[in-house]
Amino acid sequence: MTQYIDIAVNLLSERLKHDINTVINDAAKHHVSPLIVIGSDLDESTEAISTCQQYPQQLYCTTGVHPHHASSWDQHSKTRLTQLAQQDTVVAIGECGLDYNRDFSPRAAQRKAFSAQLELACELNMPVLMHCREAHSDFIAIVNEYRTQLPNALLHCFTGNRDELIECLDTDLYIGITGWICDERRGQDLAKLVPLIPNNRIMAETDSPYLLPRSMRPKPKSSKNLPQYLPYIVEYMANLRQQSPILLAQQCYQNSCDFFQLPVVLHTSNDAL
């Protein structure tokens, strides 16, 4: 049995939160388990912890402040995030980073919140799950300030160019790949870069409910992306990399377990690894 871990699920988004049981169970039927639930602000992170506690070993979460919400970072945020990050179900600080595409928070506020969260990750010796969109220069500069002190760092939903990918790999980042590569309109440049990612640095994710793989056939009736579609994304990645889908799935699974320090009990099948 081939196992998968979806490293980025926005399970508390309005499009998923009312069907949590169904999302988890349908994913498990496709051997996608556990799911990493994303915390995008401190309130959602609190809710993510509570939700994960109801689904032991099926859900884990990150806790952090997404750049869209960076304006909410204040003098109390670090203390609150520290408390949240020490809960048993929390496996990384994040989602944190920079987003200059939408600028929902001022760029200076984004940089401040990002640096503060990386600093906290260093203090707590925790990995970070990061976001970067159209902000690579500032992003990589800030990451490099803290990288030697961080145990592990992941840039999820990578959508950058070749030079940006090389810089991220030179900084020893893990790279998360989504169904963006299955989009014939926007994802073809990224699809060409997927073979450049070393085996020990690649992870797979849906970023559910966003980024439904457009090449899926038959096409899902809903535009809502789901963790159960992760095996399709891995197979698509494997074809681009000219690898066995089973071997790539095993590699992504192992990388995810190593990165998030997931319990060995999750290795439920001798065929999985």
Question: What tokens appear for 206 in the block?
Answer: 């849906």
pLDDT score for 136: 98
Name the band, by pLDDT with cuts 50, 70 and 90, for residue 1.
Answer: confident
Distances (CA, A) of 257 to 6, 13, 27, 243, 269: 11, 25, 17, 21, 14
pLDDT (mean) for 77-81 = 98
For residue 260, the enclosing domain spans 4-266
Q: Is residue 273 part of a domain?
A: no
**What tens digit of pLDDT does each residue of 233-245 get?**
999 999 999 999 9
Total domains in the fold of the chain: 1
On whether the CB atoms of residues 41 and 69 are closer than 8 A, the answer is yes
Element spanning 34, H or E: strand 32-37
On whether the CB atoms of residues 202 and 175 are closer than 8 A, the answer is yes
Question: What tokens appear for 68 in the block?
Answer: 């869209």
* Side-chain half-sphere CA neighbours of 16 within 13 A: 26
Report the percentage of the chain scoring pLDDT > 70.
96
The pTM assigned to this predicted structure is: 0.95
Distances (CA, A) of 224 to 5, 15, 148, 176, 187: 19, 8, 38, 20, 18
Q: Is residue 272 part of a domain?
A: no
Burial track 33-50 (b if 16+ CB lie within 10 A, e otherwise):
bbbbbbbbbbebbbbbbe
Look at strands 59-63 and 90-99 and give their pairing. Answer: parallel
Flag whether pLDDT at 269 surpasses 60.
no
Q: Is residue 115 part of a domain?
A: yes
Q: Is residue 271 part of a domain?
A: no
Q: Is residue 185 part of a domain?
A: yes
On whether the CB atoms of residues 237 and 215 are closer than 8 A, the answer is no
On whether the CB atoms of residues 91 and 61 are closer than 8 A, the answer is yes
Ordered strands of the 32-37 beta sheet:
4-9, 32-37, 59-63, 90-99, 128-133, 153-155, 174-177, 202-204
Flag whether pLDDT at 138 surpasses 70.
yes
SS3 189: helix
**What tens digit of pLDDT does each residue of 5-58 get?**
999 999 999 999 999 999 999 999 999 999 999 999 999 999 999 999 999 999
Report the CATH number at residue 147: 3.20.20.140
Measured in degrees and rounded to the nearest 5, phi and psi for residue 197 equal -80, 125
Q: Is residue 163 part of a domain?
A: yes
Q: Is residue 189 part of a domain?
A: yes
Q: Is residue 260 part of a domain?
A: yes
Torsion angle, alpha carbons of 242, 152, 114, 167, to 10: -50
pLDDT (mean) for 131-141 = 98
